């Protein structure tokens, strides 16, 4: 069955290319059934976060009315980029299967190596300047959250 899920992710990546999108597709599965599908919609939606995995995660969460995808598996036509990998962890997906590697993606100009290298750097050494400001004012929201009795942890 796993091969069928990956075949569908790859089909979605091919369809995306034919529609003018990036060559990426994804399906999210629970109990051996596809719950959601996604393909790259960055250019069509003018949204840099509309990667196949993100589209599929958003759809799955909407369908189950929950932000947690614990118990789900994700099949992607390519190894998830840093943003998608972060979303996968935030969504608590149990397992990821992928076809193409990030090196394969790099060869066709989908190069995430800068982002991976930026994660390793101190804030003051990153390409995009990062300036901390107004921390004491911002901490008020954290204090409020910390004391909140009915908060939904995630």
Question: Given CA atoms 132, 134, 139, 141 in this order, what sign does their dihedral have?
Answer: negative
Residues acting as catalytic residues: 53
Question: Given CA atoms 34, 95, 12, 16 in this order, what sign does their dihedral have?
Answer: positive
Give pLDDT tens digits for 25-73: 999 999 999 999 999 999 999 999 999 999 999 999 999 999 999 999 9
Give pLDDT tens digits for 72-94: 999 999 999 999 999 999 999 99
Give pLDDT tens digits for 92-142: 999 999 999 999 999 999 999 999 999 999 999 999 999 999 999 999 999
Residue-wise burial string across 14-46, b where 16 or more C-beta atoms lie within 10 A, e elsewhere: eebeeeebbbbbbbbbbeeebbbbbbbbbeeee
Give pLDDT tens digits for 138-147: 999 999 999 9
pTM above 0.85, yes or no: yes
Which residue bears the tokens 């569908």?
A: 8
């Amino acid at each position: 069955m796993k091969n069928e899920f990956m075949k569908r992710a790859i089909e979605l990546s091919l369809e995306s290319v034919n529609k003018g999108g990036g060559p990426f597709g994804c399906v999210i599965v629970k109990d051996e059934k596809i719950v959601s599908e996604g393909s790259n919609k960055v250019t069509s939606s003018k949204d840099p976060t509309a990667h196949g995995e993100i589209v599929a995660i958003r759809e799955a969460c909407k369908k189950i009315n929950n932000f947690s995808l614990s118990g789900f598996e994700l099949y992607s036509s390519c190894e998830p980029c840093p943003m998608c990998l972060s979303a996968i962890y935030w969504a608590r997906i149990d397992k990821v299967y992928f076809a193409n590697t990030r090196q394969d993606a790099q060869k066709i100009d989908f190069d995430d190596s800068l982002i991976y290298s930026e994660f390793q750097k101190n804030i003051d050494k990153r390409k995009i300047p990062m300036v901390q400001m107004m921390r004491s004012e911002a901490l008020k929201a954290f204090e409020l959250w910390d004391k909140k009795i009915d908060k939904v942890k995630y």
